[in-house]
Structure formats: structure tokens, C-alpha cells
Amino acid sequence: MIESSGTLAELSPETKLMCERPGTFSGGHRMCAGCPTGLFTKMLTRVSDEYEIVAGNATGCLEVASSIFPYSSWQIPWIHTAFENASAMMSGVEACYRSLVRQGKMRKKLKFVVMGGDGGTYDIGLQSLSGAMERGHDLTYICYDNGAYMNTGVQRSSATPLGAATTTTPVGSEGSGRKGNRKDLTKIMLAHNLGYVAQASIHDIHDLFRKMKKAIDHDGPSFINLLSPCIPGWKIDADMAVESARQGVECNFWPLFEVENGKFTINYRPTVKKPVTDWVFSQGRFKHLKKHPDVIAAFQAEVDKQWAWLEMEEARTK
Amino acid sequence: MSNLTTGKPKIVPITGAGACAQAMRQINPDVVAAFPITPSTQIVEDFSTFVANGQVDTEFVTVESEHSAMSACIGASAAGGRVMTATSSAGMAYMWELLYVAASMRQPVLMSLVNRALTGPINIHCDHSDSMGARDAGWIQLYSETNQEAYDNLVMAARIAEHPDVRLPLMVCQDGFIISHSIQTMQLEDDKAVKAFVGPHLPYHSILDTAKPVTWGALDLQDYYIEHKRGQEQGMRNALRVIQEVSDDFAKTFGRQYNLFEDYRLEDAEIVLVAINSVAGEIKEVIDELRTKGEKVGLLKIRSFRPFPYEQIGQALSNAKIVTVLDRSASFGAHGPLFTEISTAVYNYASGRPLLMGHTFGLGGRELTLRHIEHVISESRICLDKGEVGNRQGMWLNVRGDKS
Ligand SMILES: Cc1ncc(C[n+]2csc(CCOP(=O)(O)OP(=O)(O)O)c2C)c(N)n1
């Protein structure tokens, strides 16, 4: 195993904050055993003492599993209304906050976080996300990307990687999983010229925490795309979520980087460049690709191309 | 908010859309989220000017769609704000999913709906397919014959919707173009008087209250969902009383009395027409004319379609001999929505047994002239004399090639 960044011995001030403050998200929720989604939700209130957080959620696993009436895991104000509108809904919350502050009816400093899966973000929620970001609301959007519509039973989304088997891209005599490359949502968000855009992974909580803090501290819209493996969707063992996310980063499928006011920083460079096959073949959703070397080659070529693009952008914006 | 007028009401020439924008300015909501669509656009444009001129405290969210408009309204309402929007037709259809959410979350979002035909084919003119399609969404629906009524209904809206026994979203409907774009003179009340009448908005479990965090919009399964829906229904039932109370107080304050419906020359009427919105104006004119000739004809004009005052309407129709209902929307393969409600009211609550006839008219803005209305009344007379409606049931009026 490779240490990606930081060790427990050398805690950054941010990490100390992360460990010391109480979390926001209580146990007892109905997420699958081994689901890593709760890792980032627990950090929400830990990012700062300077403000409090109000959160909104798109429909999806996190929403469904955390709020089955009359129970709720949320220890902060939290709202959900539908699948495709979380950004618009939170635009309204944030706009009301600004209105009340302007009228002198509200004095507290509040920050607003929106959460959605890849389906609720890349696909059905893309329009409302784009609108909210373009309008400049003070919102941090965190997309937990598990690569499919997991809540409804693993249907493909536009974030599903090439070749992955899902229930709507099944393997058969004519089908070898998802056709074509996934949509690059992080780039779409970059095109909105936001002050802060980052890619993070659930396995590196120090990096993730630092990014969440930066994104939420930032006044104005910000976006984090978070790799978050799904146990049943990826067909991995229940203790493998964190490790699988790590492998996704190690093979450059999911580079960790951030873009602050247009300046790119790659946060982690694998010391040994690993082929995507290590990661791909550790998951059941890709196992049929053993018989499709052409798909594997295309997968590797796409990962290499995107990594080259990222290095170029980093150099260009140095 | 600056430049509040104090003093006397003014008689102004204004369009229906302009009148609603004025009501919104006077209500001064915390948040407005809206998207342009003909014929409601003027409301949004006028209101934007009030924002730009600092005449309101409102945060105006210029959303990228009506789906987002309603989503933002719900979010802002959950954040403790008084919230308004305006739309028409396809715009409200696009909000559909969230209309139900606003009602089930008991968010008193206020909407100025300018009735326009739903697309299929696309059309910009008036009918009631948009609001009638949304009749089961859980919104209070108040209808308006004139610019004055659209304005007055909106001034009353917040107090009805936000009443603790109600807490439901409310739409005020007016006819696209016929009212929204026609200049009529009406009484614009004084800003301060309206402000005092409307009163302050009291937040309810605000999502901005971090000291008392609430979860809004939890997953509600078979063990609780139906109790929550029953609560929602209770809000609607209570609304019948609250609409009347607020209307009575409005009459005391501003001098115009509204009820759940309007009865026009009804007491001794043998033939009663039932209609909604602007066509009531033409019907009244025909009634006045026919009354001079001794025809006993009257009108029942709906104001509150949701909640529907079955009992009061049934009683009001007790002495009628024939009730002819004019629906400005179609429920394909079934009777029009207004006809269905009126039949229910008459069957259950009228002491008499009038004949019931239903017609569809005006889809996509097709006009209904005074001559058409006279014809409807003379046909009603024929049915009454024969003692049956027969094949006149379900006729579409002023339609080329209709052989029914
Ligand atoms: C308008 C609408 N369409 C479809 C659905 C059904 N639905 C609920 S959650 C979901 C998938 C969610 O996928 P994603 O956003 O990736 O989140 P995940 O479940 O993976 O956490 C779907 C299709 C819905 N609730 N609303």
C-alpha cells in the first residue's frame, strides 16, 4: 500500500480541527455496509468555527438512507425536495439568507452546501447546477460520484466509466458494458469560471477535508467532485471502498487536483504509474473486460490523455 | 424598501399583469424566483424594475427554468421567507413535480398564475388547462374575473396561505391576455394600508435556525405518508373558513366584499350558468339584457376552486331548474373539471334536482361572444322545457365542424 499524503504523526492544523470538532452526521442511517459516503458528511461541521452550515441534498442513496421519517442522521439543518433541483432549491435558501441579512433580520454567518450523486449532478441536475453556479450563489456543491444511479439499483449515468456493467448496460452477446467515455463534469464546472473547483477522493480524507474547507470558506460558488465507491454497484467487498478509491487515484483514473481562480494544482502524483487494469479488475463490474482487450486499451488511452491534459493545464497556469 | 405611499387609494388604469406586479411590490416578499413566459412576463419585468429601483427588499433569483423557480421558492420558504413567483402554462407544467412538494411541505408559496393553454399544439392564449391540471397538487386556487379581483386576491393571498390552520401554497389565477394584457381602471390601495393588512411573515421551523436544526423533506414511507397527507387535506378544509375570514376583513378594510363564489342574480333564477374568470363579465351582461325580457337567469362565478365549497354551492343552486356549466379546459374522455365538481355539489347538497349540462369552450383563446352566451341560455331553456338535456350534454361551443 502507498501512503498518498500525510501521516497521523504530522497533523496539519486543519486535520486537528477535523479530529477535534463534533461531527454532523449520526450513525444508524441505512447506508450499505462499507459505504464511504458518510465519511464526508461527518466533516461538514468540522471545517470551521467561523460559520455554521445549512445543507441540501438531491434524491439518491445519501438522502434516502439518512432521512427515513421519523429518523434523521442530520444534526445540522438539512433539506431535500427532489432529484434534479438541489442546486436551485439551495439557491432559494441562500437567496433568502441574503435577503434577511440585508433587512437586518439575520446576523449569524451561514454557509450553504449542496450534495448529490453523479446522477443528480452530471445528468438530471446539471441544468439547475449550472444555473446556480452561473448566478454566483454562495454555495458549495459536493458531487459524490459513485459512477451510476445506485439508489435505483445501479443504472448507468453519464459518469459511468467505459465498459462498466450496470443494469442498463448489461453484458450480453451484443453488449460489453457502457459504451463510450464518461462525461467530464469537472471540466464543465471549470467552464463556469468558479473561484474554486476540485477533484477529491474519499480515501484521502486529509486532502478531502482541506478541499472542503477551501471550497466552503470561499465566498461564492464552488464545486468538488468526489470519488466515492459503491459496494454493490462496483461489485467489491464491503471492506474495499477506501482501497478501491485509492486505486482509482493511483492509476490516474481519478486525479486529485484543484483549480483556484483558474490556477491548476495537481495534489497527488503517483510515484509509480500503474496500469488501469489493477483497479479495473479488482471490481466485478468490469470483469467481462478480460475478454475485451480493445476496451481496456481504449480505457487506458483515455486516462492517459486526460492526465496529459491536466499536466499541461498545470504547467500553463503556473 | 423606500417610497411607500401613505394616503388615499388611487384609481389607476392598469393591466392585470401590472396590477399583480403592484400587489407584489406592496407585499414586498423576501424572495421572488421566476422565469419569463407569455402572458405572465410583465409581472416579472415590472417586479425587476421595483428591485432595480430599491422599492422592495426582495432578493430576485433569476432562475434558469420554472422547475428551478419553484425549487428556489420552496428553499426560500423553508428558510423562513415570504416567497412569490409568477408563471403560465408550460411554465407551471414544468414546475409540476415541485407544486406537490411545496404543498406537502406546507410552504405558503404564493403564485400569480396567468392562465394560458398548455402546449399541444403550442398556443399562447387563454384557457384553464394549466391550473385545472394542477387542481390535485394541493394548492389553494383563487380565480379572478377582473384586474381588480386579481390584485385583491393577491393582497389577501399571504394571510390565507400563511394562516397556521392552513399553511399551504396559493395561486391566484387570471385569464391570459383577456385580463393580463387589458388595461382596466381599478382601485390601487395605499402601500402602507396593504402592508398593514398583509402583516409580517412569521418563519416556521426555518432551516436557517442552526440552534434548532430541522430535517425538511425526509423519506416518508407507508408507515407515515398517509397521516401527513391527511394533515395536508385538513389544511385545505380549514382554508374554506380562513378564505372567508380574510375576505371579510378585506371588505372591512378596503370595502370590497368577496366570498368563496359570487352569486349574480341567483335567488329566483331558473337557468344558472356556472363559470370561472373573465367570461363571467360577458355572462353578466347577457343576464342583465335577458332579465329585462323576463328570463329568469343567473350566474354562479367560482372564486375558490381549491378548496371547493361544495356545500355552499349546492345550497346556492337549490332553486335552479337547470345548471349549465362552462368549462374552459377539457378532461379528454370525461366531463370538464368544473362540471364534475358542480355535479357533486348539486347531488349532495342541493335541495332541488336541477338538470345539469356541461359545455367546453374557449380552448387556446377561442372567443365566446355575447351571442354564443345567449345561445347557451336559449338552449338551456329548451332543455328545461323538454325536461332533459339529451344530446346537448358535453357540447363544445364555437368549434368549427362539431356535429355533437
Ligand atoms: C425526477 C425523478 N426521476 C427519477 C427518480 C428516481 N431516482 C431516484 S434516486 C435515482 C438515482 C440516483 O442516482 P445518483 O444521483 O447517482 O445517486 P446515488 O443513488 O448513486 O447515491 C433515481 C433514478 C426520481 N426520484 N426523480
pLDDT (tens digit, 9 = 90+) per residue, A204-225?
A: 999 999 999 999 999 999 999 9
Question: CA torsion angle for B74, B79, B80, B85 (degrees, to 10)?
Answer: -30
Tell me what pLDDT residue A1 has: 38
- Output the DSSP codes for B234-291: HHHHHHHHHHHHHHHHHHHHHS----SEEEES-TT-SEEEEEETTHHHHHHHHHHHHH
Residue nearest to atom 3 of ligand 1 (CA): A83
Which CATH number belongs to the domain containing residue A212 in this structure?
3.40.50.970
Q: Specify the residue for cell string 432529484.
A: A83
Q: Sorting pLDDT into bands at 50, 70 and 90, what band is A2?
A: very low
* Residue A212, all three cell numbers: 472542503
Q: Specify the residue for cell string 461564492.
A: A220
Tell me what pLDDT residue A8 has: 56
Please name the member of B71, B73, B101 whose beta carbon is closest to the beta carbon of A128: B71
- Look over chain A and give the mean of its residue pLDDT values, rounded to a whole number: 94
**Which ligand 1 atom minimizes the distance to the CA of A61?**
21
- Dist CA A199 CA A259 (whole Å): 9
Answer whether A98 sits within 8 Å of B59, measured CB to CB.
Answer: yes
Question: How many pairs of residues across A and B have Cβ atoms under 8 Å apart?
Answer: 168
Domain containing residue A232: 2-316
DSSP 8-class letter at A169: B
Please name the member of B61, B98, B218 whose beta carbon is closest to the beta carbon of A95: B61
- Candidate from A31, A152, A167, A228 with most ligand 1 atoms within 8 A of CB, to mutate: A152
**Which ligand 1 atom minimizes the distance to the CA of A157?**
16
Each residue of B241-261: pLDDT tens digit?
A: 999 999 999 999 999 999 999
For residue A291, how far is the Cα from the chain centroid? 31
Averaged over B34-41, what is the pLDDT? 98
Answer whether A96 sits within 8 Å of B75, measured CB to CB.
Answer: yes
Closest-approach residue (CA) in chain B for A90: B75
Phi, psi (degrees; rounded to nearest 5) at B102: -55, -45
Answer whether B75 sits within 8 Å of A92, measured CB to CB.
Answer: yes
> Beta strands of A81-131 (E only): which ranges?
110-117
- Dist CA B192 CA B212 (whole Å): 34
Tell me what pLDDT residue A15 has: 73
- Dist CA B235 CA B55 (whole Å): 33
Greatest extent of chain A over all pairs of C-alpha atoms, in Å: 66
DSSP 8-class letter at B201: P
- Dist CA A146 CA A37 (whole Å): 9
Answer whether B30 sits within 8 Å of A106, measured CB to CB.
Answer: no
Please name which of B134, B127, B43 lies closest in space to residue B85, comparing C-alpha atoms: B43
Residues with Cβ < 8 Å from B198, sequence gap 6 or more? B26, B27, B155, B158, B159
Is the predicted pLDDT of residue B129 greater than 50, yes or no? yes
- Dist CA B77 CA A134 (whole Å): 22
Beta bridge partner(s), residue B297:
B271
Contacts of B68 in chain A (CB under 8 A): 85, 87-88, 91, 127-128, 131-132
Ligand 1 pocket residues where CB is under 6 Å: A 59-62, 83-84, 116-120, 146, 149-152, 157
Answer whether A92 sits within 8 Å of B72, measured CB to CB.
Answer: yes
Is the predicted pLDDT of residue B193 greater than 50, yes or no? yes
Q: Give all strands of the β-sheet with A257-260 in edge-to-edge order.
A: A263-266, A257-260, A196-201, A222-227, A139-145, A110-117, A52-57, A78-80, B215-216
User: Would you say the CATH fold of B261-396 matches that of B2-254?
Assistant: yes
CA-to-CA dists, residue B368 to A77, A295, B92, angstroms: 52, 65, 25
- Dist CA B404 CA B33 (whole Å): 45
Shortest Cα distance from A48 to chain B (angstroms)?
14
Averaged over B326-334, what is the pLDDT? 97
Each residue of B58-115: pLDDT tens digit?
A: 999 999 999 999 999 999 999 999 999 999 999 999 999 999 999 999 999 999 999 9
Question: CA torsion angle for A181, A183, A186, A192 (degrees, to 10)?
Answer: 140
Please name the member of B33, B75, B219 whose beta carbon is closest to the beta carbon of A90: B75
- Dist CA B15 CA A187 (whole Å): 47
Tell me what pLDDT residue B257 has: 98
CB distance A140 to A112 below 8 Å: yes
- Dist CA B128 CA B145 (whole Å): 13
Averaged over B146-155, what is the pLDDT? 98
Tell me what pLDDT residue A18 has: 75
Shortest Cα distance from A111 to chain B (angstroms)?
10
Each residue of B272-325: pLDDT tens digit?
A: 999 999 999 999 999 999 999 999 999 999 999 999 999 999 999 999 999 999
Please name the member of A90, A95, A130 whose beta carbon is closest to the beta carbon of B59: A95
The residue among A99, A107, A113, A130 with the most chain B CBs within 10 A of its CB, best to mutate, is A99
Residues with Cβ < 8 Å from B294, sequence gap 6 or more? none
Apex A224 CA angle, A203 and A258, nearest 5? 85
Strands A139-145 and A110-117: parallel
CA-to-CA dists, residue A254 to A54, A250, A307, B214, angstroms: 29, 8, 9, 35
- Dist CA B155 CA B198 (whole Å): 7
H/E element, A224: strand A222-227
Q: What is the torsional sign of CA B336, B339, B345, B347?
A: negative
3-state DSSP assignment of residue A147: coil
Number of structural domains found in chain A: 1
Provide Rg for chain A, Cα atoms: 19
CB distance B79 to B208 below 8 Å: yes
- Dist CA B303 CA B310 (whole Å): 13
- Dist CA A44 CA A77 (whole Å): 12
Please name which of A110, A134, A112, A123 lies closest in space to residue A194, comparing C-alpha atoms: A134
- Dist CA B335 CA A18 (whole Å): 63
3-state DSSP assignment of residue B66: helix
Tell me what pLDDT residue A13 has: 75
Q: Sorting pLDDT into bands at 50, 70 and 90, what band is A3?
A: very low
Beta bridge partner(s), residue B358:
B325
Phi, psi (degrees; rounded to nearest 5) at B168: -140, 155
Beta bridge partner(s), residue A79:
A56, B216
Residues found in chain A: 318
Tell me what pLDDT residue A24 has: 81
Contacts of B220 in chain A (CB under 8 A): 69
- Dist CA A203 CA A205 (whole Å): 6
Each residue of A100-151: pLDDT tens digit?
A: 999 999 999 999 999 999 999 999 999 999 999 999 999 999 999 999 999 9
- Dist CA A159 CA A149 (whole Å): 9
Is the predicted pLDDT of residue B218 greater than 70, yes or no? yes
Kindly report the pTM of this predicted structure: 0.97
Shortest Cα distance from A88 to chain B (angstroms)?
5
Contacts of B209 in chain A (CB under 8 A): 77
Strands A196-201 and B59-61: unpaired
CB distance B321 to B359 below 8 Å: no
Strands A257-260 and A196-201: antiparallel
Tell me what pLDDT residue A299 has: 98
CB distance A223 to A122 below 8 Å: no
* Residue A28, all three cell numbers: 444508524
**Ranges of each domain in chain B:** 2-254, 261-396
CA-to-CA dists, residue A276 to A251, A256, A284, A304, B402, angstroms: 5, 16, 14, 10, 68
Residues with Cβ < 8 Å from B292, sequence gap 6 or more? none
3-state DSSP assignment of residue B369: coil
Q: Sorting pLDDT into bands at 50, 70 and 90, what band is B401?
A: confident
CB count within 10 Å of CB B192 equals 13
- Dist CA B219 CA B211 (whole Å): 23
CATH fold of B2-254: Rossmann fold (3.40.50)
* Residue A294, all three cell numbers: 480493445
Answer whether A92 sits within 8 Å of B224, measured CB to CB.
Answer: no
Answer whether A67 sits within 8 Å of B219, measured CB to CB.
Answer: yes
Q: Specify the residue for cell string 425536495.
A: A81
Please name which of B55, B33, B18 lies closest in space to residue B107, comparing C-alpha atoms: B33
CB distance B299 to B265 below 8 Å: yes
Q: What is the CATH number of domain B261-396?
A: 3.40.50.920
Residue nearest to atom 7 of ligand 1 (CA): A152
- Dist CA A265 CA B75 (whole Å): 35
Shortest Cα distance from B109 to chain A (angstroms)?
12
- Look over chain B and give the mean of its residue pLDDT values, rounded to a whole number: 97
Please name the member of A92, A106, A110 whose beta carbon is closest to the beta carbon of B31: A92
Q: Sorting pLDDT into bands at 50, 70 and 90, what band is A7?
A: low
The complex scores an ipTM of 0.97
For the ranges A12-16, A288-292, B173-177, the lowest mean pLDDT is seen at A12-16
